[in-house]
Structure 1
Amino acid sequence: MDPLEWDLIDGPAPAVLAALGGLALLWLVAGRRRHLVRAVVPAALIGAVGGVAVWFVTEEVLNIWGAPQPPWFYLLGGTAIAAVLLGATGLRTRRRWWQRVLTVVAPVLVLVAVAVSINAYYGSFPTLQAITNGADVPRLEAVRTPEGSGPLTTLDAWEPPADMPSTGTISVTTIPGTVSGVEAGDAYVYLPPAYLASTPAHLPVLVLIHGDPGGPEDWITGGRLPAVMDAYAAAHKGLAPIVILPDGSASTGPTPSLCLDSNYGKAGTYLSTDVPAWVKSTLKAGTHAATDWAIGGFSYGGTCSLTLATGHPSVYPTFLDISGEDEPTIEAGRDALIANYFSGDAAAFEAQNALDVVTTTPLPGTAGIITVGADDSFYRPQGEKVSAALTSAGVDVQLQTVPGGHTWEAWNAGLQNNLDWLMQRAGVLAG
């Protein structure tokens, strides 16, 4: 089997690499008492300080992850720092050539073991090949589009043409900010087999927003979106949603857009106006009714999906909030968000914030599913709060608890478990 296709999450590779990393660390630590005192103890202390420093900067100062991370995350980071220091020391003290070679190789093995262990927890890269998946995606070319703007094709009525391919395609493109003025990065498009047939099916459109930090390609790597959608299509005669993965972080400022219209650009308009307009004109999809459309996302993207569904119910009447927050946030807090994004105008923020919107705006045609990870102690309570608030406001919403923490285990389940529901909402499957 090609090493690039080794399973880095559920296969034996993480355990094997962890064992090699442990042996390499033992090699770096092993030595006489003088080595322990002069090299190992200082390296361990510096590693410990480094791990704490990484925690403080990433969580307390920059809030890069958006939520507290497991303590072992920083323990492994400190271990990696100590291994590199021990390797540098070993090159000065070890004399035999094979010892020097092992001293160079050992820190690399520790670093690899640490990286693979963290990756296995989050599920970001299922294989080494997945790391380059985004780079390998071809540009979207002209495609055969459905004729007219008739109702969506139903599973019962669909007879796949003989030339329908067995799998869909994933392509990269640019969706211009014609109305919003947003200069967004690359977007990705999944076209299912039934859309690629000689007589394309009329299919619903699912817009999926990524997390932050991150980009739309994360749905391709950690989310394995092409394989997930192909598997669904294979079980439904080639029918599956057309999936659009736009750049949900485009901003004119140093911070993410939060999918809002604000001082940092009109990201809300981009995602609610420019993206649908491009899909309708380029792919001739989503042209029949609002129920053709759904929006979803994980973490930051889950918050975006809730924001856009409540703020633009005629565009996105169906939403999938996967491990999202109870409102758009930045590390500095709500007051700083309002000051920076809205020049201190709290009402302008509340006009777009979902839990404020639902208190004043009825959403009779809107339906959503909120999924939370069973082990996600930070985001699960926020999802539960959102579910209770929307239910109290009369919105048709379901709350689901899925296995996992704030990782791809939970995010993948949030999407895969609800594809049938999305297709039923669109009318492709019988309810």
Structure 2
Amino acid sequence: MNLSVISVGFVTGLAVVTATAWLGAVLIACRRRFGFAAATALVAAVLTVVTAADVVNAYYEYRPTIADVFGLARWTTLSSRQVALLTAPPSPSSSLAAREPNAAAAGRPRHAVLPVGQATRRAVAARGAVTSVAVTDGQTSFPVGRVLVYLPPQYFTDPTARFPTVYLLHGSPGEPADWLRSADAFHVGAELAGAGHPLILVFPPVGRSWSDDSECVDGAHEAVETYLIQHVVPTIDARFRTIPSRNDRSIGGLSAGGFCALNLGLRHRDLFSAVLDFSGYTHPTHQGGMAALFGHRPDLAAVVAANSPDRYAADLPALPPTRVFFACGAEEGGIAAAMRAMAATLGARGIPATMQRFPGGHTFAVWRPALAAALDWLTGVEETSTAPAIARPVV
């Protein structure tokens, strides 16, 4: 199921099969076997749609494998109950022997009653796991969202440790799992953990649907900023062993999520100490315009300005200390220029900003290495490979 569907060979092969199907339909029609010709043409039409979709998919590198196309996880997943089981301190009362001392005598294998198999336990201890938690705003402006959470292996091997947290916001169209399927966040998190820099990575929904472009603002139809700041962050801190301080909390995003991260990170510097912006604009954008996004209101201009970093950044104070990482593709000229200008503005206000460019355009071919580079920058891996682990004991 890890077969690549975005390789040149796969896309070319799919195109050849499609062309062959159309040729077959024509040849069958020439023999006046119109029923078979119609059926073959229908197959060819479906293949044409599939091929066109895969060409677009290959360009953006959105669903790299067969497993991704069908929504199958290529990473270790755990339920909340399984996480609780694997992180609970051992005690005689919770041991299998205490709960069922006669299991072996009864002819039942001891591991049969465990909800987590040994293979999964080994995988979790080696590379961590992804779980999810439902978070709602308690109102009707935003539905219950399943927030995905990557937990590093140290989360399970050291039940006394707490960890820094990075919130990663997807683009539009998009969904939280894009970070795992398309940006390879599970692998990046596992590699960092293996190097002694374990992080909790949080992937919340930022829209009601795959195509919803909320810009992460409190808009006319949904209060996404309120949802993320007042509900998601407190829930994650309450449910997981985070280090619940701004110095150990960062926010990042890609494309529309990059704007979200920049805007929310600068508007809520009391919560976030670092911002990771991948190919995000420096002001809100919406297909229907600002009135469609924020609603028809007398203070629309002021609300837009308050959510446009390129308009308010020049007035930001230097404190609390915040640092910003910008990344975009070498082919993203307009975004790169806006990022350079924003970095200069922030630098003039005493807010350090760095920028990196990667080969490619507005695609996951850029955002995948950008994520790895940004987390290296965040944890100091780019400065030294022998830095101490940043997991901290519970105090």
Paired residue for 2:173? 213
Check whether the contact 1:305–1:320 (CA below 8 A) recurs between aligned residues: yes
- Whether the 8 Å CA contact 1:209–1:305 is kept in 2: the answer is yes
Change (3 A) 1:348 1:20: same
Partner deviation per Cα, 1:81-111 (whole Å, 9 max, x = no partner): xxxxxxxxx8798417765554343333323
Q: In structure 1, what is the Cα distance between the partners aligned to 2:226 and 2:140?
A: 6
Give the conservation status (yes or no) of the 8 Å contact 2:166–2:201: yes
Find the aligned partners of 1:146 and 1:291 in 2 and give their Cα distance: 27
| Correspondence for 1:372 | 328
Could you say which residue in structure 2 is the equivalent of 1:266?
A: 223
User: CA RMSD of the aligned region, Å?
Assistant: 3.4
SS of 2:355 mapped into structure 1: strand
Alignment of 1:18-417 (within 5 A): 18-27=15-24, 94-95=32-33, 99=37, 102-133=40-71, 139-141=79-81, 142-143=83-84, 165-177=125-137, 182-234=142-194, 236-237=195-196, 239-250=197-208, 256-287=213-244, 289-334=245-290, 337=293, 339-340=295-296, 342-364=297-319, 365-377=321-333, 379-417=335-373
* Rounded Cα–Cα distance in structure 1 between residues aligned with 2:285 and 2:300: 16
Amino acid at match of 2:150: Y
Measured after TM superposition, the shift of residue 20 of structure 1 is 2.3
1:179–1:269 Cα contact (<8 Å) kept: no
CA contact (8 A) 1:290 1:317 kept: yes
Q: 1:332: how far off?
A: 3.3
Moved more, 293-302 or 19-28: 19-28
Unaligned runs of 5+ in 1: 32-89, 148-161
Report the Cα offset of residue 367 of structure 1.
Answer: 0.3
3-state SS of the aligned residue for 2:277? strand
SS of the residue 1:418 aligns to: helix
Distance 1:101 1:266, change over 3 A: closer
Q: CA offsets per residue over residues 268-327 of structure 1, 9 Å max, x none?
A: 22222322211211103122x311101001011100000111100010110100010121
1:419 matches 2:378: no
Q: Aligned pair in 2 of structure 1 residues 134, 248: CA closer, same or farther (>3 Å)? A: farther
Q: TM-score, normalised by structure 2?
A: 0.77
Say if 1:187 and 1:247, in contact at 8 Å, map to a contact too. Answer: yes
Q: Give the equivalent residue in structure 2 for 1:51.
A: none
